[in-house]
Structure 1
Amino acid sequence: MYLLGIDLGTSSIKVAVVDVATQQNIATAQYPEEETAIKSLQTGWAEQSPNDWWFNVQQAILKLNATALFDPKEIKAIGIAYQMHGLVVVDQNQQVLRDSIIWCDSRAIDLGNQAFEAIGEEKALKHLLNSPGNFTASKLAWVKANEPDIYGRIDKMMLPGDFIAMKLTGEITTSISALSEGIFWDFKNHEISNDVLHYYGIDEHLIPAVRPLFSAHGHLKTDVATALGLTSGIPVAYKSGDQPNNALSLNVLRPGEVAATAGTSGVIYGVSNDLTYDKQSRVNTFAHVTYSEEKKHTGVLLCINGTGSMYRWAKHNFAPLATYAELNKLASEAPIGSNGLKLLPFGNGAERMLNNKYTGAQFLGIDLNTHNPSDIFRAVQEGIAFSFRYGLDIMRENGMSPKVIRAGRANLFLSEVFAQTFVDVTGIPVEFYENDGSVGAALGAGIGAGIFKSAEEAFTNHEIIKTLSPKHSVVYEPIYQDWKKILEKQLSIGS
């Protein structure tokens, strides 16, 4: 018996098949091989085509089936993880009305700030746990204000994972966790936020039916099952944003546990049992996958837009023919501190942890007679690690004080330089696991379909593969403080 997990990322679609008996990954596939482009029609805008996502999902599943490592007919449930905070809108025929405004799009910030003030900052934070910012509700309000013809044809608005589930099943549903990441959820009243809907003039009928995150969100349509070689009628039994799903895949389910990832964006995600919030909304709180009215487990999320995207930019412009493994080796040849070269990696839209300011990515202290490619690539990795430390200190201000962080051995954490720098500059050990968002989504499907009796049962074979402890924290601290002063100077210039 198998489970299928789909991870709708910004860069590509990843899919995995997991064996229920062993909880192990049997096969994986990715489509497309090259990173999917982000459309930026204006500075600060970021869009992708939902129909392209759906095409890529189908191609990834067919590619997975072609491995012949499993019988697709033995897949019993499907789970979906997806890039958070995006907006997808469809008409009554479930046809997409415009490209998705995705997570790193900044166009709705002013609308969100106005809503924050109109609702009342204290009330918004106590009920929404966030400012509306540039989250999904504000993006929908932007469409309403700027594309009224499109807005008038909307039957349902969705998060990206809701859209993929719709294409698989023909049903449109959402969850409390999804609504919270869109800033549609009132945590105090445990209902869709009347304040947000009223201020923006959004009709509640645009919100899909709300179902438990671990439950049947529809069943696979016959025509889709035939096209993909799957069994008709199996449930889509789990949908989660990529960061709560990453936490699930690392078995980060209980208050006090913390996960990190360094993919296209960088995230530290900690579970709390409090309705906590940052007064400046620099870090954000959403309903965790285990959230319920009885157990209000929330996920406190620090997001840095430009991590993997920063590293990809550096590769493309400075060493396009090199592999990431080769670049990681090159970075290891430079000394700690990159011979004084420093990087601010904030070039992928306004950063929430910087109060929605946009500094642009910047190299500082370039010495034309000293610096070489190894310094450049180490400075990139160090700058990204420093941005994690900056954000973690904000989380500490809000009561999140992890003693250990769990991470998958993937993306930037494959680099020994980055991983050790992250540990040294934060001062927190990291436990590494074999972890993948699509595998987490598959296990989530097993929980949602009742194949596993509990989340704990789904992770009985979850094992640490490596623990990394701080080695050079004393050396890194003054280097980090110098970097922080540079960042704060840039932020004051932009004020």
Structure 2
Amino acid sequence: MLLLGIDVGTSSIKVSVVDSETQKTIASAQYPDTESPITSVKPGWAEQSPEMWWEHVQHAIKKANATKAYNPADIAAIGIAYQMHGLVAVDKNQQALRDSIIWCDSRAVEIGNRAFKQIGEEKSLSKLLNSPGNFTASKLAWVKEHEPEIYKKIDKIMLPGDFISMKLTGSITTSNSALSEGIFWDFQTNSISDDILNCFGFDKSIIANVMSVFADHGHLTKQVADELSLKPGIPVSYKSGDQPNNALSLNVLNPGEVAATAGTSGVIYGVSDSVTYDKQSRVNTFAHVNHTGSNTRLGVLLCINGTGILNSWTKNNLAAGLDYNQMNKLGAKIPVGSEGLRVLPFGNGAERMLNNKIVGAHFGDLDLNLHTTAHIFRGVQEGIAFAFRYGLDIMRGIGINPTVIRAGKANMFLSDVFTEAFVNTTNVPVELYENDGSVGAALGAGIGSKIFSSEQEAFNNTTPLALIEPKTPGLYEPVYQSWKQLLDKHLKQS
């Protein structure tokens, strides 16, 4: 049987078709080829059209079908991974009422901070495991406060993956994991948080039917099936935010296991079987894909908004037509430490690990007589690695102490410069895998539809491509401390 995985990313939609017998990918497709637009009408704002996501999902599936590598009618289940923390609001006709306020939008920071104090900081942390911060609930509160006419029309709110599932099936569901990432979930009562509903004045009816991550979230409608050459009635049997899904794709399901990704944003994600949280809410704790009321599996997540997006900005604005591989080769010729150039990568909105401050991206100690674009290429990648180290030290403070980190050989981990800086700065080995969010979603669909007899069966054929171990941590440590001094300076000014 075949499994279809859909990854609703910020930059594009990717789909993969996986053979459940071998767990091998038969075909993959991405749409569009260029990055999807983000609307930012004010500094710190970021929105995307949910209908654009749906249009791109359909194009990507048709593109995969066009490979002729499989019979679309053989697809037995669908899984969805999606960009986390976004807000989608629909009316009674299942029409989006406004563009989605996505993960990197910073407009609701103060609303979340006020709610944190109103609910009570200790109460929020012990029950929600987080501050309401800049998450989905606070974004909905912003809509309620600033767009009351739109708010009055809301029938249901959802996360981005819930919207795509709705378009496929006509059914609106969500999960405890999705609600926890939106800061709607009370871990003490194992239910929707009354504290959040009462604080913001939300009616509970706007929350969709709550299912587990691995569940029957609806069945493909005939109209959509005919349009996409799929079989009517197949289930959407898995929905997960992109970072829990990335962990799933790397077989990170048990306590002590840790995953990392370095795409547009950067993430370290560790699984814990005990209730743990950062008192400053700089890292966040959500329900992992396999969390239940009786089986505690919490994902402790460090998210850095400004990581790969800085590398992308550097390529688009400073690389003069070079591709990433050429940039990496030039950067590799520069010594560790970029000969004094220090780069802060925080130019993509408020950073949770910096207490939701907007620090911005900065190039420090730029020497016009010494530094070249090659220095910048290396300095950017080192700065991103140092941001990971800064966040990992916070995670270590609440009991996440990885002995190895699993990552997909993709995005920034394609660069030897970055990978070596990451490993030596954190002093933790990295196992690299051939993984992909859409493949993880497909495997999740197999688990949710019980095509796999167990979670572990989905990873019977998963083996690492490489193990990268620290070799020169002593060389990177003084450079990191110098970088941290620059960050501390800007934190005091912000």
Cα deviation, residue 331, structure 1: 1.2
> SS of the counterpart of 1:406?
strand
Aligned to 2:406: 406
CA distance in 1, matches of 2:117, 2:240: 30
State whether structure 2 residue 252 is matched by structure 1 residue 252. Answer: yes
Q: What is the CA RMSD across the aligned residues, in angstroms?
A: 0.6
**Correspondence 1:295-334 to 2 at 5 A:** 295-334=295-334
Residues 410-425 of structure 1: pairs in structure 2 closer than 5 A: 410-425=410-425
- Structure 1 unmatched ranges of 5 or more: none
Shift of 1:339: 1.2
* Partner AA of 1:220 in structure 2: L
Q: Does 1:464 align with 2:464?
A: yes
**What is the CA-CA distance between 1:274 and the residue it aligns to?**
1.0
Separation in 1, partners of 2:345, 2:148 = 36
Cα distance in 2, alignment partners of residues 264 and 68 from structure 1: 31
Unmatched runs of 5 consecutive residues or more in structure 2 = none
Q: Does 1:81 align with 2:81?
A: yes
Residue range with higher mean Cα deviation, 485-494 or 180-189? 485-494
**Structure 1 residues 184-230: Cα deviation after superposition (integer angstroms, max 9, x where no partner):** 00001111000000010000000000011101100001010111111
TM superposition score normalised by structure 2? 0.99
Alpha-carbon deviation of 1:453?
1.0
Q: Secondary structure at the match of 2:17?
A: strand
Instruction: Look up the match of 1:145.
Output: 145
2: CA distance, partners of 1:450 / 1:26? 20
* One-letter amino acid matched to 1:106: S
Q: How far apart in 2 are the matches of 1:331 and 1:82?
A: 32
SS across alignment from 2:295:
coil
Partner in structure 1 of residue 343 of structure 2: 343
1:345 is paired with a residue whose SS is: strand
CA distance, structure 2, for counterparts of residue 42 and residue 272 of structure 1 = 38
Which residue is equivalent to 1:263?
263
The one-letter code matched in structure 1 to 2:143 is V
CA deviation map 1:356-414 (0-9, x unaligned): 00111010111111111110100000000000000000000111100000000000000
Q: Provide the secondary structure at the position in 1 that maps to 2:306.
A: coil
Residue 168 of structure 2 aligns with which residue?
A: 168
State the 1:320 CA deviation. 4.8
Deviation readout 1:261-287 (Å, 9 max, x if unpaired):
001100000000111110000000000
Aligned partners of 1:394 and 1:404: how far apart in 2?
17
Q: Would you say how many aligned residue pairs link Structure 1 and Structure 2?
A: 494
* Identity in percent: 65
The equivalent residue for 1:220 is: 220
Give the corresponding residue for 1:272: 272
Please say if 1:202 is aligned against 2:202.
yes
SS of residue in 1 equivalent to 2:45: coil
Distance (Å, rounded) in 1 between the aligned partners of 2:209 and 2:320? 46
Cα offset, 1:460, TM superposition: 0.6
Aligned counterparts, 1:360-439, within 5 A: 360-439=360-439
The alpha carbon displacement at 1:333 in A equals 1.5
In the TM superposition, residue 493 of structure 1 has moved relative to its aligned partner by: 1.3
| SS state at 1:104 partner | coil
Q: Which amino acid aligns with 1:281?
A: S
Matched, 1:187 2:220: no
Residue 14 (1) aligns with residue 11 (2): no
Where in structure 2 are the equivalents of 1:282-293 lying within 5 Å?
282-293=282-293
After TM superposition, list the pairs within 5 Å mapping 1:229-248 onto structure 2.
229-248=229-248
CA distance in 1 between counterparts of 2:59 and 2:325 reads 27
Residue identity in the other structure for 1:162: D
Equivalent-residue separation in structure 2 for 1:139 and 1:296 (angstroms): 28
Q: Distance in 1 between matches of 2:52 and 2:322?
A: 28
How far has the Cα of 1:334 moved from its partner? 1.2
Distance 1:306 1:487 in 2: 14
Counterparts of 1:10 and 1:416, CA distance in 2: 25
Q: Helix, strand or coil: the match of 2:346?
A: coil
Shift of 1:131: 0.1
Deviation at 1:160, TM superposition (A): 0.2
Q: Deviation at 1:489?
A: 1.1
Pair 1:93-2:93 in alignment: yes
User: Alpha-carbon deviations, 1:44-89, whole Å to 9, x = none?
Assistant: 1110000000000000000001111111110000000000000000
Q: TM-score, normalised by structure 1?
A: 0.99
Task: For residues 239-267 of structure 1, give each alpha carbon's deviation from its aligned partner in whole angstroms, at most 9, with x where no partner exists.
Answer: 00000000000000000000000011000
Moved over 3 A (4+): none
